[in-house]
Amino acid sequence: MKRDVIIACDFAGREETLRFLDQFENEKPFVKIGMELFYGEGPQIVREIKARGHEVFLDLKLHDIPNTVKKAMRNLAALGADMVNLHAAGGSAMMRAALEGLEAGAKGARPRLIAVTQLTSTSEQMMQEELLIPRPMEEVVARYAQNAQNSGLDGVVCSPLEAKAVKEACSQAFLTVTPGVRFADDDVGDQKRVTTPARARALGSDYIVVGRSITAAADPVTAYRRAVKDFVEGEEA
């Protein structure tokens, strides 16, 4: 298994993003591009960051009818993204269609396809009372992960705290991509359930997605190296 740290590049625009990435010089961190940057700058931002030698996780969380998702995924694969995602709530037919689209659009290996189970902003109470899903959160996350696996997907986005339950419900090889990571001495910000890179490693995450703990650090390159050391190499810096 190849653990890695993905930097959430939640910047408003291209200039700011490229200025941030310039600091890394020859290191080429795995980068997450979200809706804000993609909708603001368009597909070219993906090609540009890929051309600079980064792996790219395109976090657009697709959720629509199967045919639409299939065609959208074909276009995302053609951009050269390494990892893309969708909502497992769209159902198995949509997830299978997404895979077909990725296979049709990919120039080489298809991007890894990851499902969002339940957003970490969704509380159990909201899920039960507003969405009328009358089950415990962990059961819903595990079942959505199984649906994703049975549809041929590569993994899920989940809290590091749910990584173990997902691995048990699916398999050790089924990927867990986990946001909500902070260094022990950081501000938690708006994240509710946070863990450190070292703890995420112990809990079995395959990829941690780290935003502000790196992007807002006084020295982002040092913060990135610290996350890699703790999470990938397994030593406390």
Residues that bind ligand C5P (CB under 6 A): 8, 10, 34, 119-120, 157, 179-180, 189, 191, 209-213
Q: Choose between 34 and 197: whose C-beta lies nearer to ligand C5P.
A: 34
In angstroms, the CA 71 to CA 148 distance is 19
Q: Choose between 147 and 191: whose C-beta lies nearer to ligand C5P.
A: 191
Residues in the chain, total: 237
Least Å distance, CB 66 to ligand C5P, is 23
Name the region of 63 (left: φ>0; alpha: ψ -120 to 50; beta: rest). Answer: beta
Q: Choose between 10 and 124: whose C-beta lies nearer to ligand C5P.
A: 10
Q: Which of 2, 28, 61, 229 is catalytic?
A: 61
Give the helix ranges, DSSP H, for the chain: 14-22, 35-41, 44-51, 66-78, 92-105, 124-129, 137-150, 163-169, 197-203, 212-215, 220-231
Least Å distance, CB 30 to ligand C5P, is 13
DSSP 8-state code for residue 137: H
Least Å distance, CB 6 to ligand C5P, is 9
Least Å distance, CB 61 to ligand C5P, is 8
Contact 227, 24 (CB under 8 A): no
Q: Choose between 167 and 182: whose C-beta lies nearer to ligand C5P.
A: 182
For the question of residue 107 being annotated catalytic, the response is: no
Contacts with 165 (C-beta within 8 Å, 6 or more apart), sequence order: 138, 141, 142
Helix (H) or strand (E) holding 4: strand 4-8
Q: Which residue is nearest to ligand C5P (CB)?
A: 211
Active site residues: 61
